[in-house]
Amino acid sequence: MIARRLGWVALGGLVLLLPRLVYEGLALDILTWALFATALDILLGYTGLLSFGHAAFFGAGAYASGLLALRGSVPYPVNAVAGALVAGALSVPLLYLAVRRRGIYFAMITLAFAQMIYYIINEWRGLTGGENGVQGVPRVLVGGLDLSNLTMFYYVTVPLVAVGMWVCWRIVHSPFGRVLMAIRENEVRARSLGYPVDRYKLLSAVLSCTLSGFAGGIYVIAHRFVALETVHWITSGTVVMMVLLGGMETTLGPAVGAALVLLLRDILSTWTDAWGVATGAIFVAVILVFRRGIVGTLQQLMQSRLHAALESAPRRPDEATPVSR
């Protein structure tokens, strides 16, 4: 387990050095999208529901946070937290309807709702600026400290994202998380054991959307503006791709996926305008080789090695090892 500790220290070091390895804007994008993707995975990986409308909640968080900062002078990170709450509140009525549907119907309903939100934001020009989005968002910390220096903003944001990711981790590794896994594994049996499955799915969705809204709330302050594109369905697709690429149902997979997609986009877009196509092709190739995403597949490999090692060693008969797929 020393290896694990070292791994965390290395990761911490990498996160702290990130603004020196890539430019600060990209480093911040990696942080926010990592949180967004991890939040989506609560629903996608751990609950087994494919949301194709998470842009709406990321966007709702971004618009709410940005507008509060711009018009209400609400400081960071209070505005981001408020954005999270707005996204969470918005998700209740929408997902209440969606969780009653399964499989592709769930994905379609979430997509339809996200499109609806897109049109509302586009039409409500007085509040949202329509196609122009919300611009000139101030970046001020609680207590009045000016954060226009992006490096400083990055280091203020690191602990916020860390807390957000920890909350995601806590949720899926709680008694509640256990029920989500049960629902994903065998919904009928979960119902027959007395779990009101729809209620659990709704709570899972609302938590996922709230945390996505938090990511959006950070994103808008980092960029100092939010564009209508943020709520476009392409955003929903991108975050799903990040989770699949990095590995569903892994602690760091979604974050790895987010970093990879953003880095690829950054590198490829200097070479070609068709970076979207190139990213897509790489996505397909990676998924074909790494069925469970990069982190998921690596984990599986390591586990089977560990298993082989344990098989050869004498084993205690009823050791209760946690099992994950």
Partner 1 sequence: MPVLQTKGLAIDFRGFRALAGVDLRVEAGVIHAIIGPNGAGKTTLFNLLSGLLRPTEGHILFENREITGWPAHAIVHLGLARSFQITSIFPHLSLLDNIRLARQSGTPLGYYFWLPETVLHRFDQDARTILESVGLAEAAGKPAQELSYGQKRALEIALTLALQPRMLLLDEPTAGLGVEDISRVVALIRQVARTRTVVLVEHNMGVVAALSDRITVLQRDAPSGRPAGVVW
Residues that bind partner 1 (CB under 8 A): 170-171, 173-179, 181-182, 185-186, 188-197, 200, 203, 207, 317-325
Residues 204, 200: Cα–Cα separation, whole Å: 6
Q: In this complex, which beta carbon is closest to partner 1, that of residue 270 or of residue 315? A: 315
Judged by beta carbon, residue 182 or residue 282, the one nearer partner 1 is 182
Considering beta carbons, is residue 272 or 324 the nearer one to partner 1?
Answer: 324
CA proximity to 290, closest of 257, 252, 259, 251: 257
Kindly state the smallest distance separating residue 247's Cβ from partner 1, in Å.
16
d(CA 73, CA 240): 33
Choose between 238 and 250: whose C-beta lies nearer to partner 1: 250
Amino acid identity of residue 96, one-letter, is Y
The least distance separating partner 1 from the CB of residue 177, rounded to whole angstroms, comes to 7
> Quick one: CA dihedral 13, 44, 91, 108, positive or negative?
positive
| End-to-end Cα, the chain, rounded Å | 20
Say how far apart CA 301 and CA 312 lie, in whole Å.
Answer: 17
Shortest reach from residue 199's CB to partner 1, in Å: 9
* 47 or 79: CB nearest partner 1: 47
Type of residue at 181:
M
Q: At what angle do helices 78-98 and 197-223 cross, to 10 degrees?
A: 140
Within 10 Å of residue 84's Cβ, how many Cβ atoms?
Answer: 28
Cβ 40 vs Cβ 194: under 8 Å? no
Q: Which is nearer to partner 1, 27 or 171 (CB)?
A: 171
Nearest distance in Å: CB 143, partner 1: 28
In the complex, minimum distance from the CB of residue 221 to partner 1, in angstroms, rounded to a whole number:
26
By beta-carbon proximity to partner 1, the closer residue of 18 and 181 is: 181
* Angle between the N-to-C axes of helices 103-123 and 78-98, in degrees from 0 to 180, rounded to the nearest 10: 130
CB of 175 to partner 1, least distance (A): 4
Q: How far is the CB of 302 from partner 1 (least distance, A)?
A: 17
φ, ψ for residue 186, nearest 5 deg: -165, 90
